[in-house]
Structure 1
């Protein structure tokens, strides 16, 4: 019997690049916060499906490897116009912890903000990105959001 295979690599799914940064929470001394940043151009519509799969695979791998208490998904340098699979990216890390809260925040940039807004709120929504508490335009406010969530979960003995 001939077995035919081909070698695969995650990097073949997408041309996107990523960076991972970790920092300690100031609010809850035993917690850490991960920043997962994606850079590049997300494919338009279904052309972005492999980008979303890549982002999810990388995201789950880095959360598994470093076990942060919270996640900031930084899309400030990602060009994104359209593609429903991006919603899957917003769930990175949530399955790992089960009933333990895993706060997440999203940072948008000028090349992703409007598309993210319409993906979350709907194309015809009059609401702005400011109406979504977990979506931010800068690292400082996203970090403060995660810190606030961690402090509340710690206070409620949920961590």
Structure 2
């Protein structure tokens, strides 16, 4: 008799690649900052739904495994054009600490405009620089995170 179960893998959800990097804060002792880098092509519209679910799951897994004190999502090499579900990938703090982890996002040319319209609205003329935790440069994102860690320490 067959059980009806089949093996599944998270990697079946998406072709997005994920890399993890962790390092100590330069300004706050005993604090680690994690960079989660996503690259590849996010599916257009609803074709990206499983990509978003995968990105969220991989981000949550990283927080659970390494327990960083802050996180930077690096989307600088993620090709993204359209799809509301990408916002799920921002929701990775699983509430294991209070307050929520300091977070920043780095965007690059393959996703910058689409992320802008996702977060600010398709008719918005505002730039991503109006969102304090969005950056086009990884060094600026790290500096922002360092400031957030300093605030949390005091």
**TM-score where L is the length of structure 2:** 0.97
Please give the residue correspondences for 1:9-158 in structure 2 after superposition, counting only pairs within 5 Å: 9-97=9-97, 99-155=98-154
Query: Deviation at 1:95?
Result: 2.6
Structure 2: gaps of 5 or more residues: none
1:4 deviates by 1.3
Shift of 1:96: 2.8
Q: Do the aligned residues in 2 keep the contact of 1:101 with 1:153 (CA within 8 Å)?
A: no
CA offsets 1:58-92 (integer angstroms, 9 cap, x no match): 11001100000000000000000111111111111
Q: Distance in 1 between matches of 2:136 and 2:94?
A: 22
SS at match of 1:101: coil
Counterparts of 2:122 and 2:18, CA distance in 1: 28
2:71 & 2:94 partners in 1: Cα distance? 10
Q: Give the superposition deviation at 1:94.
A: 4.6
SS in 2 for 1:152: helix
Distance 2:107 2:94 in 1: 20
**Aligned-pair Cα RMSD in Å:** 1.0
Which residue of structure 2 lines up, in the alignment, with residue 7 of structure 1? Answer: 7
Q: Distance in 1 between matches of 2:126 and 2:99?
A: 30
TM-score (norm 1): 0.94
What secondary structure does 1:85 align onto?
helix
Aligned residues: 154
Structure 1 unmatched ranges of 5 or more: none
How big is the shift at 1:152? 0.5
Shift of 1:45: 0.5
Q: Give the match's secondary structure for 1:96.
A: coil
